[in-house]
């Protein structure tokens, strides 16, 4: 039974020894599978010259630049067990029956090149590649059955005696472990025994080789703990206390640059030890790890620790100047107050007041120890105040004095916020206590504090400043009170609101900064003007803080002003020629709300109240931790008809030059800074030459889109800066958007040729048009002349028509005259014939008349009766009137006799049948018969009227001719 109790106390003591972590824990960021979209295990970690971190993940090669995760699987989709950087810059990777390297192609995308085709012919396959080591310009891959050496061109295989269990390098040596023959050293192309197996414990499985000194190597094993190899002799590693790895499986280990050693275990978390065997820290799930199985470790260029876990990835800001202090075991309780008093650090939370003795360590976060509660202080510890060289606690349960690790009540009627000495000369005999229900008086005498009554003011007094018998009290939603406390029983009170100069009655808080009473408001800092009895914007402070919404102010011993602006911590640093505002983005949104507290002990110890516990800032180290910032263009993607990755982010973007078609003129840029600890502190500004007019405003955006860019050459420039004002060099990416085919050089040549051809054709067209116009003008002139001629001819025709009408009228008249003459001649001839006949008959019948006389008369009458001769005269006269009608008809119809010609003439004269019968001395019937015969002889169709035929005979004659 005694042995069991003894074993119990030994285990308890051992667990206590292991649990002694520094009170300040670095920030641990957990990356879950849902963050990086990869597999469970992460067995190896490396970092390239640009700062990008790579992980050997179960599903491929995983990369992280601080913002973007990318996964690159092996061709056979198997797990990657190990990765390593070669001197050639390639990332060598090994998996199941696969080995090769990742390298960027021309567009900066990582692609895998397999080396299996270089294997000796007798090796057709192999198992997992567990270790990869870059040694002496060569790459060594370890599987259980072979170690493969790749010299850049060829692969040489080395077989084990039994099985290869480990491969690593340390102190300039390449060392491997055979399962049965122990450690071997590679030299001159051969593996030779380094330590005989008898020197090592049985069933030893080496997991890491770490540098201890020039001649010593620390060997970590899977189940047997730690050993030291010195000049081919092996001995156990000695701890300053119990060996923490007696019952632990060591999965990985690495030497850190501060001389410490990091050891990752199975189910035991991460251990930080020194070379003297002291356990410095142990990180487990309690300290923030996702799980307690650490498969791989890596210290990045900023001296921060990466842990590849059995399920996930954790980032330990090991070198961070900001630590988290959890005074409570369950990491609960908001941080309300902190103070260092008589070498004891007191932390007040929403649950208890905690205390911890401190040593001479300048950075209190590095102190090892465990906080203990101060008895009697359960509940909210609102404030800790050093008054008259004593420590007072403003608590939810009342006012207490803290001494001898105990809390002694002063007044427990209600809760208190603060304590302020009434007298300017210390020690002050009267203390003004601001509480839930107003102001109370506390007397100090013989190093003891006693309640001494109440000032007649009943408002909550969380923010109090005492000046010359006047107490100023800020109420968070009523305004600011000025109280004359020279007569506590009857104080004179005045309330200042927005009517008295304040921007609002809400969220006004009083602080004493630079020996001046100031009011932190939602719109900057205000000060009281006694001359006007009003509050006014502070010209001095607002030149620094402008109109920021401030809720807490605290001045440190160096004159810097610490402040909280809307849950953001900052400091107005006065170390330079002018005050400079520095923010701490690492703590954004993590500070306690409405009950903010900052305790600036000195440059190395700034305590800030958090939602859980306190944050500790080593401000001196924070400002000194200036590392160069490098901004990387991580992706450039052009979109249009199809997306096109122009730069995958793994080459030098400054040398990248891309030509894009006019359809791919919308670009998406992604950029990042692989400064993992300060990632929240980084801001970016971008500028696109030939498009943007100026650099963009600083922001935390890590991507930018440009759409519908016109043709031309552009350079996208990006730069980053930290919260300390450090700026990176400018990283650029140049690209050219080609014009559409119709705006290319060849197109313009064609356009020029077409323009010349067009101008030539246009010239020819103009020339032809000129000729046509000239011809048209001539034709028009001719047409006008012709029209004029036609007009003249028309006029002439009209004149002729008039003349013809006149002539026709004259012809008609002459026809009438001819008809009259013809009738007259006919009558005359008939009369003369009758007279002649009568004279002849008289001459025959009468003998009385003289015969000579009768003969003479008869001769005269015979001369007058020559009718044919008279017809000839008529015909001549008729032809003169009717354009030689009779001559023309004789020419066409020469077989017409005189009688028929007369009839033609009479028909042309349009005489009636009766008139023609009289002229021809025949009957009307005879005329009709004569007409019929004439029609037949002339062959005139019956449907044509003879009168019309002879009327149109002139035109008919012209057509015939």
Q: Strand pairing partners for 324? A: 25, 615
Residue 85 pLDDT exceeds 50: yes
Mean pLDDT of 648-668: 78
Q: Over pLDDT 90: what percentage of the chain?
A: 60
| Alpha-carbon gap, residue 29 to 753, rounded angstroms | 67
- Range from 244-253, 625-634, 782-791, 803-812 carrying the lowest mean pLDDT: 803-812
Residue 918 is predicted with a pLDDT of 74
What is the largest distance, in Å, between two alpha-carbon atoms of the chain?
227
Prediction pTM value = 0.75
Residue 260 pLDDT exceeds 50: yes
Reading the block at residue 425, the tokens are: 């000369």
What does the pLDDT look like over 707-763, one tens digit per residue?
999 999 999 999 999 988 889 999 999 999 998 888 888 888 888 898 898 888 888
Mean pLDDT of 412-441: 94
Q: Using 50, 70 and 90 to split pLDDT, how confident is the model at 207?
A: very high
Asked whether the beta carbons of 606 and 570 are under 8 A apart, the reply is no
What does the pLDDT look like over 360-383, one tens digit per residue?
899 999 998 899 999 999 999 999
Residue 268 to residues 242, 260, 772, 911: CA-CA distances in angstroms?
Answer: 15, 18, 105, 154
Asked whether the beta carbons of 400 and 376 are under 8 A apart, the reply is yes
Q: Which residues contact 298 (CB under 8 A, 6 or more apart)?
A: 45, 46, 47, 53, 254, 305, 306, 308
Mean pLDDT of 891-911: 81
Q: Using 50, 70 and 90 to split pLDDT, how confident is the model at 14?
A: very low
Long-range contacts of 414-418 (CB under 8 A, 24+ apart): 415/380, 415/382, 416/382, 416/383, 416/440, 417/382, 417/383, 417/460, 417/461, 417/462, 417/463, 417/464, 418/382, 418/383, 418/385, 418/394, 418/461, 418/462, 418/463, 418/464
Residue 429 main-chain phi, psi, to 5 deg: -80, -15
Residue 826 is predicted with a pLDDT of 55
Q: Greater confidence, 806 or 323?
A: 323
Residue 805 is predicted with a pLDDT of 72
Secondary structure element (H or E) that encloses residue 769, with its range: helix 745-845
């Amino acid at each position: 039974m005694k042995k069991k109790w003894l074993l119990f106390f030994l285990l308890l003591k051992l667990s206590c020894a292991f649990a002694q972590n520094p009170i300040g824990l670095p920030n641990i960021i957990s990356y879950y599978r849902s963050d990086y979209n990869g597999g469970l295990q992460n067995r190896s970690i490396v970092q390239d010259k640009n700062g990008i971190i790579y992980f050997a993940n179960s599903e491929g090669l995983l990369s992280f630049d601080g913002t973007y995760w990318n996964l690159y699987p092996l061709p056979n989709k198997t797990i990657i067990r190990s990765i390593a950087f070669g001197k050639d810059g390639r990332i060598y990777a090994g998996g199941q029956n696969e080995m090769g390297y990742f390298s960027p192609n021309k567009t900066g995308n990582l692609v895998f090149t397999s080396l299996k085709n270089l294997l000796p012919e007798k090796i057709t396959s192999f198992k997992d590649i567990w270790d990869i080591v870059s040694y002496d310009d060569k790459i060594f891959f370890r599987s259980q059955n072979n170690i493969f050496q790749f010299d850049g061109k060829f692969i040489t295989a080395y077989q084990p005696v039994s099985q290869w269990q480990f491969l690593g390098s340390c102190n300039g040596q390449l060392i491997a472990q055979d399962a049965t023959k122990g450690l071997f050293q590679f030299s001159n192309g051969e593996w030779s025994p380094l330590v005989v197996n008898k020197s090592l414990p049985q069933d030893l499985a080496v997991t890491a080789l770490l540098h201890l000194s020039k001649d010593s190597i620390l060997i970590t094993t899977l189940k047997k703990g730690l050993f030291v190899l010195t000049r081919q002799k092996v001995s156990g590693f000695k701890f300053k206390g119990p060996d923490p790895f007696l019952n632990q499986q060591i999965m990985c280990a690495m030497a850190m640059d501060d001389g410490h050693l990091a050891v990752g275990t199975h189910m035991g978390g991460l251990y930080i030890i020194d070379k003297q065997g002291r356990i410095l820290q142990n990180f487990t799930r309690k300290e923030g790890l996702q799980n307690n199985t650490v498969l791989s470790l890596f210290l990045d260029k900023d001296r921060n620790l990466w842990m590849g876990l059995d399920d996930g990835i954790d980032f330990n800001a090991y070198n961070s100047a900001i630590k988290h202090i959890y005074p409570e075991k369950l990491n609960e309780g908001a941080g309300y107050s902190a103070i260092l008093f008589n070498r004891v650090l007191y932390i007040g939370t929403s649950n208890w007041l905690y205390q911890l003795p401190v040593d001479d360590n300048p950075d209190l976060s590095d102190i090892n120890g465990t906080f203990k509660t101060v008895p009697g202080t359960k509940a909210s510890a609102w404030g800790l105040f050093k008054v008259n060289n004593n420590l007072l606690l403003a608590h939810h349960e009342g006012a207490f004095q803290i001494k001898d690790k105990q809390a002694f009540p002063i007044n427990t009627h209600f809760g208190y916020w603060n304590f302020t000495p009434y007298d300017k000369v210390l020690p002050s005999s009267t203390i003004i206590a601001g509480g839930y229900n107003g102001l109370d008086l506390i007397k100090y005498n013989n190093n003891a504090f006693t309640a001494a009554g109440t000032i007649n003011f009943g408002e909550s007094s969380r923010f109090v400043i005492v000046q010359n018998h006047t107490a100023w009290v800020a109420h968070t939603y009523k305004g600011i009170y000025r109280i004359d406390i020279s007569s506590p029983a009857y104080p004179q009170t005045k309330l200042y609101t927005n009517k008295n100069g304040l921007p609002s009655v809400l969220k006004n808080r009083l602080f004493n900064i630079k020996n001046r009473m100031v009011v932190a408001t939602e719109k900057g800092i205000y000060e009281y003007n006694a001359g006007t009895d009003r509050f006014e914007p502070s010209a001095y402070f607002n030149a620094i803080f402008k109109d920021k919404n401030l809720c807490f102010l605290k001045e440190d011993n160096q004159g810097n002003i610490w402040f909280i602006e809307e849950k953001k911590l900052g400091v107005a640093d006065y170390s330079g020629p002018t005050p400079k505002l520095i923010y701490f983005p690492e703590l954004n949104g993590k500070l306690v709300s409405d009950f903010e507290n900052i305790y600036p002990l000195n440059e190395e110890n700034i305590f800030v109240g958090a939602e859980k516990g306190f944050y500790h800032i080593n401000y001196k180290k924070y400002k000194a931790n200036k590392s160069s910032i490098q901004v990387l263009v991580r992706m450039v993607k052009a979109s249009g008809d199809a997306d096109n990755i122009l730069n995958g982010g793994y080459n030098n973007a400054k040398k990248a030059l891309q030509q894009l078609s006019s359809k791919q003129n919308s670009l998406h840029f992604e950029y990042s800074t692989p400064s993992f600890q300060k990632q929240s502190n980084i801001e970016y500004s971008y500028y696109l030459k030939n498009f943007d007019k100026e650099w963009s405003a600083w922001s935390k955006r890590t991507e930018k889109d440009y759409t519908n860019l016109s043709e031309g050459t552009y350079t996208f420039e990006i730069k980053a800066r930290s919260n300390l004002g450090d700026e990176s060099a400018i990283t650029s990416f140049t690209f050219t958007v080609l014009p559409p085919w119709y705006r290319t050089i060849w197109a313009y040549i064609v356009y020029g040729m077409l323009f010349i051809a067009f101008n030539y054709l246009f010239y020819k067209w103009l020339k032809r048009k000129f000729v046509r116009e000239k011809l048209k003008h001539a034709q028009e002139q001719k047409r006008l002349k012709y029209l004029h001629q036609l007009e003249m001819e028309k006029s002439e025709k009209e004149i002729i028509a008039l003349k013809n009408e006149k002539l026709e009228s004259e012809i008609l008249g002459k026809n009438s005259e001819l008809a009259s003459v013809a009738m007259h001649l006919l009558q005359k001839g008939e009369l003369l014939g009758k007279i002649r006949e009568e004279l002849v008959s008289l001459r025959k019948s009468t003998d009385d008349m003289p015969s000579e006389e009768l003969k003479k008369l008869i001769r005269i009458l015979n001369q007058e009766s020559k009718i044919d001769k008279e017809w000839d005269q008529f015909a001549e006269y008729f032809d003169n009137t009717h354009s030689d009608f009779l001559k023309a008809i004789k020419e066409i119809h020469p077989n017409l006799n005189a009688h028929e010609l007369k009839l033609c003439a009479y028909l042309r004269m349009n005489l009636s049948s009766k008139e023609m019968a009289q002229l021809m001395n025949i009957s009307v019937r005879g005329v009709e018969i004569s007409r019929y015969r004439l029609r037949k002889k002339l062959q005139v169709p019956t449907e044509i009227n003879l009168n019309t035929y002879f009327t149109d005979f002139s035109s008919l004659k012209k057509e015939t001719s």
